[in-house]
Amino acid sequence: MLEFLNIHPAAFGLDISDLSVKVAQLKKSKGGFSLSSFGEFPIGPGIIEHGQIQKEKELAEILRGVRTQVQGEKIKTPYVIASLPEEQAFLQIIQLPRMNKEDLESAVRFEAENYVPYSLDTMEIDFEQVAPVVDHLDHVDVLLAALPKTTVESYVAVLKAAGLIPLALEIESSAVIRALILHETAPVPVLVVDLGATRTSFIVFTGYSLRFTASIAVSSSRLTQSIAESLHIGFAEAEALKIKYGLEDPASASGKKVLEALLPPLTDLVEQIKKHINYYESHAGHEHLSAPISTIQKIILCGGGANLKGIAQFLVGELHKEVGIGNPWVNILPTSLQELPPLSFAESLRYATVFGLALRAARAHDQSSSSKS
């Protein structure tokens, strides 16, 4: 989405969130790709708020240094595929009659007025046709995406001010799916729960496409803050207790206190998951799968919060659905590895978005190079 150039030079992925920037570059290797460069850089409070850049100069200064400060190989290319904030995006599956590509673009922009709850003059509109798993349709399904022009222009301006050249900008959820879903295909509806530092994102994917996204305020930081407030301790000490005990040690006095402190925000998380599952399942209807399944069959966890001990088992007990930890390497490595030094599997759960961005860059460059040879 929002691709700026038709050429595909070597590029890297750049995930920009409220509190950090993550960077990753992949290189072609035997049977897949290898991680050649990666890094995470903190962003001070107030520079980005709820996905909106408040201080462009400060963010550009941070981005200006990331290519030389990464772990692994220094990144030489200025070309980048960067993320756009999920909370600023509007996505909707729409149906249109079958038509040629040129007419489809005009029809999407005309039809968008009926779906996008903002003036189209203020929005960047993009779309992609959704391929059905079973093709017996008299229509086409289209994934419509819209973001405020001011948001997109702000991100582009910061990237250019940092000496970077954006090849494409992509909504976070698209990148997460590319990283976590094997071959980017799901025969049944899957819910990805991305437990981030400042928010949690819900992403429903089925067939070959995103179907639904939403963000809520329950976050990994909020879990830590709940421990800090309950036990009257500092944030850093609360974070250490959260990591040490999680949800798995209610037998010890400290573990029980941590669990009790975590239950209120986790109960909120469970209720939000139930609400969003119910919403999706009551509105599903254009999946066109090989079997008529409209209910969420599996939940996949990613983000730093997925490392909370016992979180998957807790959600299984509350939701009565299959819950698993996602594998951000599944479309990168030729075989499934639990650890790839120097980035551990646990650390890589925080890199799902930027891995998806880097994977898009690496695939496009690989295809471009292959076509020239």
Which residue from 1, 147, 18 is spatially nearest to 88, judged by alpha carbons? 147
Structure tokens at 282: 């009551």
Q: Would you say 35 and 75 are in contact if contact means Cβ atoms under 8 Å apart?
A: no
pLDDT of residue 77: 97
- Residue 278 CB neighbour total at 10 angstroms: 11
**What is the mean pLDDT of the segment spanning 182-208?**
93
Q: Would you say 156 and 332 are in contact if contact means Cβ atoms under 8 Å apart?
A: no
Structure confidence by residue, pLDDT tens digits, 288-306: 554 566 789 999 999 999 9
Q: Classify residue 290 by burial, with Cβ atoms within 10 Å: 0-12, 13-18, 19+.
A: exposed
Q: Would you say 22 and 66 are in contact if contact means Cβ atoms under 8 Å apart?
A: no
Rounded Cα gap, residues 180 and 186, in angstroms: 11
Mean pLDDT of the chain: 90
| 334 pLDDT above the threshold of 80 | no
Range list of β-strands (E), 30-174: 32-42, 48-49, 52-53, 71-72, 79-84, 90-97, 123-130, 139-148, 165-171
Task: Give the predicted TM-score (pTM) of the model.
Answer: 0.92
Grouping H, G, I as helix, E, B as strand and the rest as coil, residue 296 is coil
Structure confidence by residue, pLDDT tens digits, 145-167: 999 999 999 999 999 999 999 99
pLDDT of residue 336: 53
Q: Would you say 42 and 204 are in contact if contact means Cβ atoms under 8 Å apart?
A: no
Look at 129 and 5; give whichever has higher pLDDT.
Answer: 129
Q: In Å, how far are 82, 172, 178, 211, 329 from 182, measured between CA atoms?
A: 22, 17, 8, 17, 9
Structure confidence by residue, pLDDT tens digits, 199-208: 999 999 998 8
